[in-house]
Structure 1
Amino acid sequence: MKKAFTMMELVFVIVVIGILAAVVMPRTGSNRLNEAAIQVVSHIRYTQHLAMIDDKFDSADNDWYRLRWQIKFSKVGGSDNKWAYAIFSDADVGSGHDGNPNDNETAVNPLDNSKKLTGGYSGTIEYGDSKATKELNLGHSYSVEDIDLVGGCNISNDGKKRISFDYLGRLMYENPKDLDSSYKAGAINRLVISQCRIEICTVSDCTAATSEQKVTIAIEPETGYAHIL
């Protein structure tokens, strides 16, 4: 005689599936944050790679160190007022180094040469531009509401958050255009000497985010190694 499930057994299985679904589903939001963090870590490493293979030293240019490759996080009109980032080398476009990811300064997307590595920035490649890489707009792509830089990397005075790398792949903080020598702005050495942390959050203030609402990327001093905590 063939064996079959009883009604009680079927009900029990359905209840167990329901409990598992209730436990797993709330974690969907944090998975999106993890996806965002994995992408950002990849692009931090790519920025470091560009800095190491594209040494900006030029004996004929006294400001060569201001061209170092950097990654800049910002929330501006050109990013549709969402948190986004761009990878670029800040060239002197005739009026000096302005610290903004202009079209001809922004890295080409290695996965699609018709696009640049920016999620949108005012007055340059904006979010709606066909050249923008939409995934770099973390607000639109991953519902990110705030980004904070803490630890060994400071926040620049203009409210934009950025890091850069030297030709050895070492991490530097704040805006390279403010440097007046290779590593110093006045008496301040811009090399990062303690762990830098980038917090990516789904709430408007990372300082109030819970562990489910925040993911943290760490970048180590000296090596510039980026990883998710």
Structure 2
Amino acid sequence: MKLRYAFSMIELVFVIVVMGILASLAIPRMDRDLRQEAMDSIMSDIMLAQRMAVSDFRHDAADPKWQKTYWKWRITECSNDTIFYIVTSNKDDRTNADRNESAIDPYNQKYLYAQTTGYCSTGNAHPDDSDRVLITKKFGIKSIDRKGGCSSAQHIAFDEFGRPHNGIDSYTKPNFAYLMKEDCELTFNFENGLIEDSSPFTITVEAITGRTFVSKR
């Protein structure tokens, strides 16, 4: 006669309890990963704008306003408290940057772009645009505090040496007047309660060198 083994009721309860404990430990870990993903995603795209600027020299002797076309990382804050950013260059020096002037997301081959008139009003991203730039929708970031060299600008632009500039739309001649004089500090604030660890983090872009790093976690 063969013996048959089965779980007792006590063993089943024990397994369920253990699984519940493991699940409760995993949830905060997932939240921390989302916060870390936001840090990595935003910082990598600021650095991408710098790399694009270094590799794409924009000097044009025939156009005294050529510095307006620097590659830049630019944030937009919609009236409904939704925030997104783009990585673009505005090559044609018009009022708004276009989709085809923007960088390609290396992760999904879509544009690091969102159109203000479209996304701010509808909340829907264009199918050709990367959702990583929609930092309120994707990560729960509700506001950005800007201090130092970027306190009065919506963007950080970079020249061919990787140096950060702000206010480049005001360039009328190539005099480097808007070269960033102070380190730029960008503090990203999360919506309360959306993730377990909703404490803000700060990304710093150093003046002159353009070195970008997380200065406060």
- TM interval, short-chain normalised: 0.7 to 0.9
Instruction: State the match for 1:162 in structure 2.
Output: 155
CA contact (8 A) 2:148 2:183 kept: yes
One-letter amino acid of the counterpart of residue 213, structure 2: H
Instruction: State the match for 1:228 in structure 2.
Output: 214
Instruction: State the match for 1:91 in structure 2.
Output: 91
Write the deviation string for residues 21-80 of structure 1: whole angstroms up to 9, x where unpaired.
Answer: 57x855754542221111111111110000001010011222111100001111237xx8
Structure 2: distance between partners of 1:32 and 1:43: 17
Instruction: State the match for 2:111 in structure 1.
Output: 116
How many residues align structurally?
A: 194
**SS of residue in 2 equivalent to 1:51:** helix
Instruction: State the match for 2:35 in structure 1.
Output: 33
**SS of residue in 2 equivalent to 1:213:** coil
Corresponding position: 1:73 with 2:75: yes
- Rg larger in 1 or in 2? 2
Larger displacement relative to structure 2 (147-156 or 130-139): 147-156
- Identify the match of residue 101 of structure 2 among 85, 98, 105: 105
Structure 2: distance between partners of 1:212 and 1:110: 27
- How much identity, in percent, do the aligned residues show? 22
Q: C-alpha displacement at 1:178, in angstroms?
A: 1.4
Structure 1: distance between partners of 2:66 and 2:91: 9
Write the deviation string for residues 118-167 of structure 1: whole angstroms up to 9, x where unpaired.
Answer: 2x2224788421111011111111011111221222223xxxx2110011
Corresponding position: 1:144 with 2:146: no
Write the deviation string for residues 97-128 of structure 1: whole angstroms up to 9, x where unpaired.
Answer: 31x33122212233444x2112x222478842
Q: CA RMSD in A?
A: 3.0
Instruction: State the match for 1:179 in structure 2.
Output: 171
CA contact (8 A) 1:199 1:214 kept: yes
TM-score (norm 1): 0.72
Structure 1: distance between partners of 2:198 and 2:128: 33
One-letter amino acid of the counterpart of residue 159, structure 2: D
Structure 2: distance between partners of 1:30 and 1:182: 44
**SS of residue in 2 equivalent to 1:145:** strand
Structure 2: distance between partners of 1:108 and 1:67: 17
CA contact (8 A) 1:86 1:136 kept: yes
Gaps of 5+ in 1: 1-6, 205-210
Structure 2: distance between partners of 1:89 and 1:128: 20
Gaps of 5+ in 2: 1-9
Q: 1:28/1:155 Cα in 2 relative to 1: closer, same or farther (>3 Å)?
A: farther
Structure 1: distance between partners of 2:158 and 2:141: 25
Structure 2: distance between partners of 1:56 and 1:32: 36
Structure 1: distance between partners of 2:47 and 2:74: 14
